[in-house]
């Protein structure tokens, strides 16, 4: 693996080309200035929209501003992420963020105004102005919320309470990111050092069991120490959500959470019920893990260590890109040509360098193209990360190319489908061509653990959210004991009876930030199941599925997520996609069992 001391050492071909957004900072400054002027112009429409023509001119100006702001913000963010230590870049991002607040303030009047209109008046406006046809679906979608909007006075009060209602989430964020100090672990030289999150993710996979146990105990130590405080923040967040749902006249907090994506409650419940009905292979995998590790007692800190050791493949970036393109051949020539453009035209920033943002992401910039950040390490994980992010990238590229600005951005609900389809095609390709039994075992272990984390764990979290919100709706108390009891029962139910539960297990709820963004995690599981379903059909050479899937990638948010997925043959209102995904998991566990 090549190590770079600084960004200038990285070959030009492996750095993204931000000149596609702005060739110089003078252009950035000009768009920044233009947005400020447009924001002031938008303010003038407050109280000034009286007909179809004025409504159209407001919406058109707002969209033009949104287009420019997308470029201004993206450029500043990408520049910072190249090297987070550069204060000049940071100042541009700070300015872009401040501008975002001003723009939001300029347009905050619009939604209350729109929902104050009668449906009849809005339709008259649309009929009288040809240009409003473009905005019609978006306007009517906003109107869908009308029955959940309160009177102007009540909305004003709720708006003023907004900051107070967000306190539990902010408090947990401060506890979790700023205040928590983890316990100590033994360093390489035998000295005690303070554990960090980054260290924990490595140590919990360490082959030495004492190292894992020590890291596990140290990691949970502060959460147990602050259990009552964190239980209060979570309880308050849940109660706030339940109260808001009630005030806005949703049947339940769950239905409020599903409303935006127009997902019926049955989809959420079906995900949980179908998963639990087919949980046996998950328990079987736990038994295999215990046997493979040769343990008398399997504990939570044994669940992340890879079961196949000594498999270190060196895969250069060029080789990884070529392997990805070969693996994704079932998606057709158009798809592969787009990927080749990504590499040739420098949409990707490949190498890890000092100060560069960690991790990986895809950022679609409408009117330009996607940008993909990597920290490529020339290994198997990096190959999977590349393939995952390129799935998002092609989704962004196709949606932007085939959709107008208003519907080009796809929802989180469908986002993980495109990336996971790619990963499933990659794992199947690698397994098919790999003859080395150790590497095959390693690949199967990798995918099973990913399946477990992205699907089973998220379904377990989703059920925890459902149960705790229902208790709050029934007026039952929420405290440490209640959270512990629910979480421990679910952990055992999903992972099986082979695991001996340490005291720490039942406190798992206390470290999950997603619980402060309610009814969100289930989307990881539904997206994963949908992707398994689609990839299986693609590997069977189903031309119809291929055509429909490519259309899906071109669809952006032109329809609701469930409707878009139905066009690919995935109907999440039925148990079938979840059952098919769980069938695939069963096959993976059986194949792994045979290999060992």
Let me know: does 584 contact 452? Beta carbons within 8 Å.
no
The token pair that represents 54 in the structure block: 């004025």
Let me know: does 238 contact 469? Beta carbons within 8 Å.
yes
What SS3 state is found at 374? Answer: strand
Q: How does DSSP classify residue 456? A: I
CA gap 60, 73 in Å, rounded: 20
What SS3 state is found at 144? Answer: coil
The H-assigned helical ranges of 108-226 are 110-116, 119-128, 136-143, 152-165, 167-174, 197-203, 209-225
CA gap 16, 347 in Å, rounded: 5
Residue 579 is a catalytic residue: no
Please give the full DSSP string across 44-103, using - where no structure is assigned: TTTTT--SHHHHHHHHHHHHHHHHHHHHHHHHHHHHHHH-TT-HHHHHHHHHHHHHHHHH
Give the Cβ contact number of residue 463 at 10 Å: 23
- State which H helix or E strand residue 280 sits in: helix 280-293
Map 464-517 to HEC letters: HHHHHHHHHHCCCCCCHHHHHHHHHHHHHHHHCCCECCCHHHHHHHHHCHHHHC
Q: Is 304 exposed, middle or buried (0-12, 13-18, 19+ CB in 10 A)?
A: middle
What SS3 state is found at 194? Answer: strand
Let me know: does 105 contact 37? Beta carbons within 8 Å.
no
CA gap 585, 578 in Å, rounded: 11
Sequence-distant (≥ 6) Cβ neighbours of residue 374 within 8 angstroms: 348, 349, 350, 351, 360, 382, 385, 386, 389
Q: How does DSSP classify residue 298? A: B
CA gap 272, 456 in Å, rounded: 9
Measuring CA to CA, which residue among 491, 497, 468, 470 is closest to residue 481?
468
Let me know: does 460 contact 508? Beta carbons within 8 Å.
no
Task: Point out the catalytic residue in the list 14, 129, 214, 389.
Answer: 389
CA gap 525, 420 in Å, rounded: 11
CA gap 553, 567 in Å, rounded: 11
- Residues designated as active site: 389
């Amino acid at each position: 693996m090549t190590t770079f001391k600084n960004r200038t050492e990285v070959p030009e071909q492996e750095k993204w080309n931000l000149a596609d957004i702005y060739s110089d900072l003078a252009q950035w400054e000009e768009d920044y200035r233009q947005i400020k002027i447009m924001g002031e112009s938008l303010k003038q429409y407050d109280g000034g929209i009286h007909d179809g023509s004025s409504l159209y001119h407001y919406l058109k100006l707002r969209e033009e501003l949104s287009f420019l702001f997308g470029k201004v913000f993206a450029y500043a963010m990408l520049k910072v992420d190249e090297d987070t230590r550069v204060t000049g870049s940071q100042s541009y991002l700070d300015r872009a963020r401040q501008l975002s607040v001003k723009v939001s303030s300029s347009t905050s009047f619009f939604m209350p105004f729109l929902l104050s209109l009668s449906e009849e008046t809005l339709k008259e406006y649309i009929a009288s102005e040809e240009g409003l046809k473009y905005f019609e679906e978006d306007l009517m979608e906003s109107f869908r919320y009308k029955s959940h909007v309160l009177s102007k006075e009540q909305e004003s009060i709720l708006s003023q309470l907004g900051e107070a209602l967000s306190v539990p989430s902010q408090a947990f964020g401060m506890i979790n990111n700023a205040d928590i100090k983890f316990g100590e672990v033994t360093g390489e030289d035998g000295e005690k050092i303070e554990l960090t999150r980054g260290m924990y993710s490595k140590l919990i996979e360490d082959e030495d069991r004492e190292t894992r146990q020590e890291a596990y105990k140290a990691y949970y130590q502060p959460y147990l120490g602050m259990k009552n405080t964190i239980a209060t923040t979570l309880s308050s967040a849940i109660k706030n959500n339940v109260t808001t749902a009630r005030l806005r006249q949703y049947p339940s907090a769950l239905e409020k959470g599903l409303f935006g994506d127009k997902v019926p409650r049955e989809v959420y419940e079906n995900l949980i019920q179908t998963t639990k009905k087919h949980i046996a292979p998950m328990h079987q995998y736990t038994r295999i893990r215990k046997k493979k590790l040769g343990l008398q007692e399997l504990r939570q800190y044994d669940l992340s260590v890879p079961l196949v050791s000594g498999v270190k493949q060196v895969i250069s970036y060029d080789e990884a890109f070529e392997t990805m393109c070969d693996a994704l051949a079932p998606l057709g020539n158009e798809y592969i040509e787009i990927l080749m453009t990504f590499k040739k035209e420098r949409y990707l920033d490949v190498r890890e360098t000092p100060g560069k943002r960690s991790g990986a992401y895809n950022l679609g910039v409408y009117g330009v193209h996607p940008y993909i950040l990597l920290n490529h390490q020339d290994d198997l994980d990096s190959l999977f990360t590349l393939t995952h992010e390129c799935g998002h990238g092609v989704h962004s590229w196709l949606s932007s190319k085939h959709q107008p600005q208003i519907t080009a951005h796809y929802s989180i609900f469908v986002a993980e489908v495109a990336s996971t389809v790619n990963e499933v095609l990659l794992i199947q390709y690698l397994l098919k061509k790999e003859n080395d039994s150790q590497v095959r075992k390693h690949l199967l272990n990798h995918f099973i653990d990913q399946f477990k984390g992205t699907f089973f764990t998220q379904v377990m979290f989703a059920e925890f959210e459902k149960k705790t919100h229902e208790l709050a709706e029934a007026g039952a108390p929420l405290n440490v004991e209640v959270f512990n009891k629910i979480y421990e029962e679910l952990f055992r139910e999903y992972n099986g009876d082979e695991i001996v539960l340490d005291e720490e297990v039942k406190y798992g709820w206390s470290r999950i930030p997603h619980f402060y963004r309610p009814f969100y995690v289930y989307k990881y599981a539904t997206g994963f199941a949908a992707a398994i379903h689609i990839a299986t059909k693609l590997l069977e050479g189903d031309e119809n599925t291929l055509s429909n899937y490519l259309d899906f990638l071109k669809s952006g948010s032109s329809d609701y997520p469930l409707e878009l997925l139905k066009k690919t043959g995935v109907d999440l209102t039925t148990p079938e996609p979840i059952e098919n995904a769980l069938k695939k998991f069963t096959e993976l566990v059986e194949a792994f069992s045979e290999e060992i």
